[in-house]
Amino acid sequence: MTPLLTINNVKLTIDGRPILRGVNLIVNEGEIHAVLGPNGAGKSTLASLIMGINDLRAPDSGEIIFRDKLVNGLEITERAKLGITLAWQEPARFEGITVEEYLKLSGRNNPELDVVECLNLVGLDCSYLNRFVDDTLSGGERKRVELASVLAMRPKLAVLDEPDSGIDFASMEDIANMIKTMRDRGTTVLMITHREEIAEIADRATLMCDGKVVQTGNPKEVGQKFKTMCVKCEVRNPELVGGE
């Protein structure tokens, strides 16, 4: 197995508060890797650091390595050109940009781009092509369009921050299948989720708590650990995550 993304002892403090306290994580090429963990564990912060968004261009210390390249400090566009992309937990809304335009922009370097297929894969039909990516789309529709745009881009690594949130229960299977399709087409997926049934499609999973990785391994086992340990953990449990 070849590591595609390596997170090496990454630490980050925001406003004097340690948010990431030495995160270690390897995402292998071709896998779906789920990240689980309670609210505030630092999952989205880690995702931001991988993409370089939200002014999080580099951790205070530690390394983020994509293939053999250190991405610490790189511009967002440079990371995207290496083949990294991210789908936001709460995607942005755009005035005056249609779904079709958005997908075409996302997939402008994908020679096999088929925007209708991308929409179909996230459970939307072609009537959405000329809808605007603005606040006239429902929350779930907007999330689907975001996933379609990742499909359109066909990156090497897709960081999906809660691709299942805002998606109705009945459509969970569609989303799970879509993520598998993404992987089958050569995109390695790092997905943050709170849902067991989505985590279960992963090849491996990582549990994060209080800015640290607790465990990486089989999704079922990691999910079990999340349920039994984190749920009981009333305060941040130093035994669980280890002290500084």
Partner 1 sequence: MATKNVLDTVAKKFVQIGLPEDLFKKNRFNLLVDRNKVIVRYPAPGVRSEVVETPTGVKTKVYVEPGTKLEEPVTLCFGAAETTEVQTTEGEIVVGEGADVKFQVYGAMAEGIKLKHKNKLKVRVEKNARFEFLDLHYNGEETFVELETETDAYVGENAYFRSVFKQTRGRAGKVRIVLKATVDKKGVAVFETKMIGKRDDEIYVEDVIHLNGEESRGISKSRIIAVDETKATFVGETYGNAPKCRGHIDCSEVIRGKDVTVKAVPVVVVNDETAKVTHEAAIGSIDKKQLETLMARGLTEDEAVDVIVQGMLR
| Residues of the shown chain interacting with ligand ATP in the complex, contacts defined by CB under 6 A | 14-15, 19, 37, 39-45
Among 7, 86, 191, 222, binds partner 1 (CB under 8 A): 86
The single residue listed with the structure tokens 């995550």 is 241
Q: Does 91 bind partner 1 (CB under 8 A)?
A: yes
Alpha helices, DSSP H, located in 10-168: 43-51, 76-82, 99-106, 115-121, 139-153
Among 2, 17, 92, 234, binds partner 1 (CB under 8 A): 92
Least distance to ligand ATP, CB of residue 42, Å: 4
User: Looking at beta carbons only, is 44 or 149 nearer to Mg ion?
Assistant: 44
Which tokens go with 43? 């999952």
Q: How many residues appear in the chain?
A: 244
Among 9, 70, 81, 168, binds partner 1 (CB under 8 A): 81
Which tokens go with 205? 């999973």
Residues in region 129-158 near partner 1 by CB under 8 A: 149, 153
Q: What are the residues binding Mg ion (CB under 5 A)?
A: 44
User: Looking at beta carbons only, is 179 or 207 nearer to ligand ATP?
Assistant: 207
Alpha helices, DSSP H, located in the chain: 43-51, 76-82, 99-106, 115-121, 139-153, 172-184, 196-199, 219-225, 238-241
Say whether 106 sits in a helix, a strand or coil: helix
Least distance to ligand ATP, CB of residue 120, Å: 29
8-state DSSP, 107: T
Least distance to ligand ATP, CB of residue 54, Å: 7
How far is residue 148 CA from its own chain's centroid?
A: 14
Binding site for partner 1 (CB under 8 A): 51, 53-54, 75-77, 79-81, 84-86, 88, 91-97, 105-106, 108-109, 149, 153
